[in-house]
Structure 1
Amino acid sequence: MKLNNCELTEKSCSVLATVLSSKTILKEMNLNNSHLLDSGVKEICEGLKNPVCELKILNLRGCSITEKQCLILTLALCSNLSHLRELDLSGNKIENKGVKHVSETLKDVRCKLERLRLRSCDIKADDFSALTSALKSNPSHLRELDLSGNEMGQSKVKNLSELLMNPKCKLEKLVLCGCSITEKESLILTSTLCLKPTHLRELGLSQNKIENTGVNHLCDVLKDSRCKLERLSLNDCGITDVSSLTQSLADTKALQFLKELDLSNNKIGDSKQQLIDVLRDSNCKLR
């Protein structure tokens, strides 16, 4: 069910709650960019709490969800967690307590969430610590984590790195686009990825000024024989030279796995030709 960009009234939310509370085959509800009032959120949550509700995907991106509404939502989800696999709360300023409410949901042993998107949620340092702690306590189901548009800084990247180090962490897709990550933070992240084999297959670092030094750190990951990255996004990262990246791809088995490499909007100059030559000679399937 998709109701994007809708002005949902309390009455229409009540109808949605009725649908959720009935034995339907509804597995996905997409309300992106629909302004939800407190009363509307309460109505929808009544449906989510119903034991017959088997919703797997809930998208509430840009719904003006407040801290208070986030509490109502997470309480509802905690009462009926076993089916939900994907939650998107991107673009909502859920603030301090809102992030902590989400964290409480993630800690619940019944939570089997596989994809969590919290893009541009203005997550502060303390709240980020609570979030990663929750994920560390129950990490085995999560496959995708998107935190794009949240300023990271070294302390947050360290918290995230600790999550990746958890033996039970099965994260396959990590997206950190536009997170103000510099070469310093990229070193923390890549050092972690080099320390232990991970399940990571997709890494998004676009719109971060990691520059050439940051790319050199990433090369250490690509050189690791345990690396099985399939997609690497470095769009608009202030990169001017990809010689080291080219050498890493030429000298390792990384190209056996790498399917997509995004270097758009980087002024890489003459080093571009070296990369093109290596890719052509390798007969890889890179896009």
Structure 2
Amino acid sequence: MTNEGCSAVTSALKSNPSHLRELNLSRNKLGDSGVKNLSDLLMNTQFKLEKLQLSNCEMTDEGCSAVTSALKSNPSHLRELNLSWNKLGDSGVKNLSDLLMNTQFKLEKLDLCGCRITEKQCLILTSALKSNPSHLRELNLTGNKLGDSGVKNLSDLLMNTQFKLEKLDLWNCSITEKQCLILTSALKSNPSHLRELDLSGNQIKNTGVNHLCDVLKDSHCKLERLSLYDCGITDVSSLTQSLTNTKALQFLKELDLSNNMFGDSKQRLIDVLRDSNCKLSVW
């Protein structure tokens, strides 16, 4: 669908706005002009949308600013927002952050996968979430370069006992061993809510895995899915020991260690998980 098609759809919805709860326009070539027409609809207080998907819509900072500005005038209903694979830019991130700070905005799921978010922009976003932390349950920052300050600010957010995040996706975010230590230290201080953690595609290596073991050892940890695909791991003996001697296996359902070269230490881990309910991927 092009921006003309989007205009036709939004014009139709304007005439009957009160019932729609979910709208998915992902993978359509809406562009900024098409998104602006949608924004007029989002401002309508009769429009009580709960789920909006705009992934890969060729939207830039102008379009993102239009959408988030519209939502600021009608913030109370939306629970899920997907802006993945759009280039948000500085102004788009700033407007989104202003929206996230609004205490009337009770977003539960935010997907910003592949949005080319920079370290500075990540800092702005996470600072906004720190001021309104209690509602978000899922956060996807896959494919963005968080940098040291972005990781530090995200970690500060994870430490907040009001922040009850259940799913965190950080695939391919260039997270280092040092940054992994900062993240896991934060998780150790507030471990009970997180159910899914994806650190795949980050070179956290054995040091990062050892830090994650400290989280798993915490009796309050209830992690169900842990993804460490292609993380430069060569030894999983500490992970095996953690899963053997803690309650972690009572909760863990999926463990992805694919595309790591950990040799002989693999077999012991396979043996430990054989009689558990945890699905292990190691190939």
The DSSP-based 3-state class of the residue aligned with 2:110 is strand
Return the alpha-carbon distance in structure 1 between the equivalents of residues 170 and 8 of structure 2.
Answer: 36
5+ residue gaps in structure 1? 1-5
Runs of 4 or more above 6 Å deviation: none
Percent identical pairs in the alignment equals 60
Counterpart amino acid of residue 225 in structure 1: S
Normalising by structure 1, we get a TM-score of: 0.93
SS in 2 for 1:53: coil
Structure 1's 231 and 215: CA in aligned 2 closer, same or farther, altered over 3 A?
A: same
Matched, 1:104 2:109: no
Query: Which residue is equivalent to 1:237?
Result: 231
Find the aligned partners of 1:15 and 1:184 in 2 and give their Cα distance: 48
Whether contact under 8 Å (1:48, 1:77) holds in the other structure is yes
2:121 paired with 1:131? no
Pick from 264, 278, 283: which aligns with 1:286?
278
| Structure 2 residue 56 is the aligned partner of structure 1 residue 62 | yes
Report deviation, 1:72: 1.1
Amino acid at match of 1:235: Y
By how many angstroms is 1:161 displaced? 0.5
Other-structure match for 1:250: 244
What's the TM-score, normalizing by structure 2? 0.94
1:133: Cα distance to partner?
1.1
Tell me the matched-pair count: 279
3-state SS in 2 of match to 1:106: helix
Contact 1:22–1:52 (Cα < 8 Å) also in 2: no
Specify which of 50, 55, 67 is matched with residue 44 of structure 2.
50
Structure 1 match to 2:149: 155
Q: Provide, for residues 62-94 of structure 1, a one-character-per-residue CA deviation record: whole Å limited to 9, x for no partner.
A: 111111111111111111111111101111111
Alpha-carbon contact 1:21-1:47 (below 8 Å) kept: no
Alignment partner, residue 30 of structure 1: 24
When residues 94 and 278 of structure 1 are mapped into structure 2, their CA distance, relative to the original with a 3 A threshold, is same
Contact 1:202 1:232 in 2 (8 A): yes
**What is the alpha-carbon root mean square deviation over aligned residues?**
1.4
Cα distance between partner residues in 2 of 1:20 and 1:206: 42
Q: Is 1:67–1:94's contact at 8 Å kept on the other side of the alignment? A: yes
Q: Verify the 8 A CA contact 1:58 1:86 in the aligned structure 2.
A: yes
Deviations 1:159-198 (A, max 9, x none): 0001111121011111100001121111111111123344
Inter-partner Cα distance in structure 2 for 1:29 and 1:11? 14
Conserved 8 A contact 2:21-2:48: yes
Query: Any gaps of 5 or more consecutive residues in structure 2?
Result: none
**What is the alpha-carbon distance in structure 2 between the residues aligned to residue 119 and residue 73 of structure 1?**
17
For the 8 Å contact 1:18–1:47, the answer to whether it is kept is no
Which secondary structure state, in structure 1, belongs to the residue aligned with residue 233 of structure 2? coil
Find the aligned partners of 2:15 and 2:154 in 1 and give their Cα distance: 37
Contact 1:180/1:209 (CA < 8 Å) preserved in 2?
yes
**Change beyond 3 A, Cα 1:129–1:9:** closer
User: SS at the partner of 1:209?
Assistant: coil
Q: Distance in 2 between matches of 1:38 and 1:221?
A: 43
Give the corresponding residue for 1:88. Answer: 82
Aligned: 1:223 with 2:217: yes
